[in-house]
Chain A
């Protein structure tokens, strides 16, 4: 059965810390992996990764995919309270649908 597993389920850090969020997957017909940030309402898109070893970066956030070991990490450096959110990892498994299979998410709380 296809699955996406995120760890940790939750963590609490202080402003300025660096955090690493993990996502492992077992997905047939894997096409890509996406990271989303969900604060109160709609998940907002962060990255889509399709190739191994190529880091994607946006400000203090970066992510990389390892298609051999079937995992991805999302790094956030110099965390701020505004980074507090649920971070969702999802795999796009191909075919005509391009539907997503999600992990349960990691709840990040950044304390001042």
Chain B
């Protein structure tokens, strides 16, 4: 079974530019999460999709961040315009639902390391 795929793995952009991160969850996983780890801090929740619907976006820092999940498959997270404090590692995770959590947990991708200079 293919895992959660994220790309790019690294992105370096200038302040004010736009960046789009992509996440391909495990096929059939309705639940998709975005998390972010800022240097020296813990991993923090950004938002949760169930299929194509945003279930919870309480962790999104501000309106410069826009997440979409068209068709309930892959998701994109756009940062526009990027600021220095947006630097960090952005993780995506997926799950099939509560029934499988105890066996498999949430499956994480390898993350996208975003550096804003």
Residues of A within 8 A of B (CB): 4, 32, 34, 36, 41-46, 48, 50, 88, 90, 92, 96-105
Cβ of B102 within 8 Å of any chain A Cβ, yes or no, is yes
> Told that A42-B91, A92-B101, A98-B95 touch, could you supply 14 new A-B pairs with CB distance under 8 A?
A42-B110, A42-B111, A46-B105, A48-B101, A48-B105, A50-B102, A88-B43, A97-B48, A97-B55, A98-B31, A98-B48, A99-B48, A101-B45, A103-B42
Bound-state CA distance A43–B111 (Å) is 9
Residues of chain B lying within 8 A (CB to CB) of residue A88: 43
Residues of chain A lying within 8 A (CB to CB) of residue B31: 98
Closest to A89 in B: B42
Please count how many residues in chain B sit with their CB below 8 Å of the partner chain's CB atoms.
27
Cβ of B2 within 8 Å of any chain A Cβ, yes or no, is no
What are 14 of the A-B contact pairs (CB < 8 Å)?
A34-B106, A36-B105, A41-B111, A42-B91, A42-B108, A45-B105, A45-B106, A48-B102, A90-B43, A92-B101, A96-B56, A98-B98, A100-B35, A100-B43
Closest to A46 in B: B105
Residues of chain A lying within 8 A (CB to CB) of residue B56: 96-97, 99
Across the interface, do A45 and B104 meet the contact criterion of CB distance under 8 Å?
yes
Residues of chain B lying within 8 A (CB to CB) of residue A4: 42
Closest to B48 in A: A97
Closest to B37 in A: A102
Interface digits, B38-73 against A, CB 8 Å rule (1 contact, 0 not)?
000111110010000001100100000000000000
